[in-house]
Amino acid sequence: MAKNYRYKYEIVSADDNLPGKVTLFDKPGQECFTNKHWHKNIEIDYVLKGDLWVMSNNEDFTLSDGEYIVVNNDDIHQTCGKDPAENVKYLVVLYSYNFIKAYFDDFESFSFDIEKDPTAKAEIKRQLDLIVDCVEEQGDFTDLKITSAMTQILIELCTKCLVERTKTHTEIEHEELEYAKKAIDYIKLNFRERITLGEIASHVGLTPTYFSRYFKQNTRKTFKQYLNLVRLEHALRDIQTSGISETRAAVENGFPSVKAFIAAFKSVYNCTLSEYVRQYHDIPSISEIRRI
C-alpha cells in the first residue's frame, strides 16, 4: 500500500476581521516559488507587475500585469516567477473554508470558471484592485472594505461562474489525498468533541498505525498537532471576541483541560498566553498561528 506522497496539505488561517487571508507580495521571481500543495480554501492569485507561472491541476498558466486565476479547493497547485531576477508584484486572496461553507454548503461539489462570464471576470478584477488599494493605503475601515470586496467577488463566482464538478474531474484528483481530505473534514466538524487516533483512522478506513504515518506525510503534521491547531485557533478567536477565560475557551473547543490548551499555545508561541499578553499587551492574532 506504499504510495508517493508528493503533495502537501496546507493549513490556512484567516486574518483577524476578514473572511480569509489577504497578502500582497512584491519580490524576485525566484522567491515566488512554492512546492506543489493543496488546501480546502478557494485561492485567487492576481498579478500587478511581472510574470507569474502558476500550475493548477497539471495545467500551466502564465499571468502578466492585470491577470488573475482562481484556484479551486483541493486543486494541487504551485507558483514561480517566470524570470528569477525580475520582481513580481501580486495579490493572493484565500477564502476561509468556513466562511464559504456557511453560505454555500455544497461548494465542494463545484468549481469556479471565470471564463464562463466576461462581465463577472471584469467585476472580480475591479474588486481585486479595490483590495490592493486598501492593503497599500491602510486607511479608515480597511478590513470592512476588504471584506466587502471579498464578499462581492464570492457573489460573482457563485452566481455567474459555477461549474459542477463532473466524475471526470473527480477521477483526476490524486487518490492518495482522499483519506487526508476525509480526515480533515471530520476534524473540522468534530474538533470540539473527543477524537482519538483510532476513531479517525476507522472513519477514513485505515489502521491507526498506517493512518498516523499517512497523515504526517501528507500534512507535515501529526494528527494530534493538526487537531490542536484547529482547537487553538477557535479557542483564541473565542477569547478575542467574547472575552471568556482560558479554561472555558479550552473546554468549549475540545481541549481536555486548560493544561492541554496551554501546552498547545506554547508549542506555537513558545510562551503561555498570560506571558504573551504581558509582553505584547494583546491577545495574539489568529493569523500568527504558524505552521508547526
Q: What is the pLDDT of residues 232-250, one digit of tens each?
A: 989 988 888 888 999 999 9
The one-character DSSP state at 50 is: S
Mean pLDDT of the chain: 86
Rounded to whole angstroms, what are the CA distances from 286 to 39, 201, 218, 236? Answer: 18, 29, 24, 7
The Cα diameter of the chain in Å comes to: 55
Kindly report, residue by residue over 186-200, the tens digit of the pLDDT: 998 999 999 999 999
To the nearest whole percent, how much of the chain has pLDDT over 70? 87
Determine the pLDDT at residue 66.
96
Determine the pLDDT at residue 99.
92
Kindly report, residue by residue over 215-226, the tens digit of the pLDDT: 888 777 899 999
> What is the residue-wise DSSP string for 186-217?
HHHHHTTS---HHHHHHHHTS-HHHHHHHHHH
pTM tops 0.85, yes or no: no
Q: Worst-scoring range by mean pLDDT, 47-51, 196-200, 211-215, 251-255?
A: 211-215
Q: Give every CB contact of residue 131 below 8 A, 6+ residues apart in sequence.
A: 22, 91, 93, 146, 149, 150
d(CA 242, CA 113): 39
Please compute Rg for the chain using Cα positions.
20
Distance from first CA to last CA of the chain, Å, rounded? 28
For each of the domains in the chain, give its residue range(s) and CATH number, in order of start.
Answer: 8-164 (2.60.120.10), 175-288 (1.10.10.60)
Kindly report, residue by residue over 78-137, the tens digit of the pLDDT: 898 988 889 999 999 999 888 999 999 889 889 999 999 999 999 999 999 999 999 999
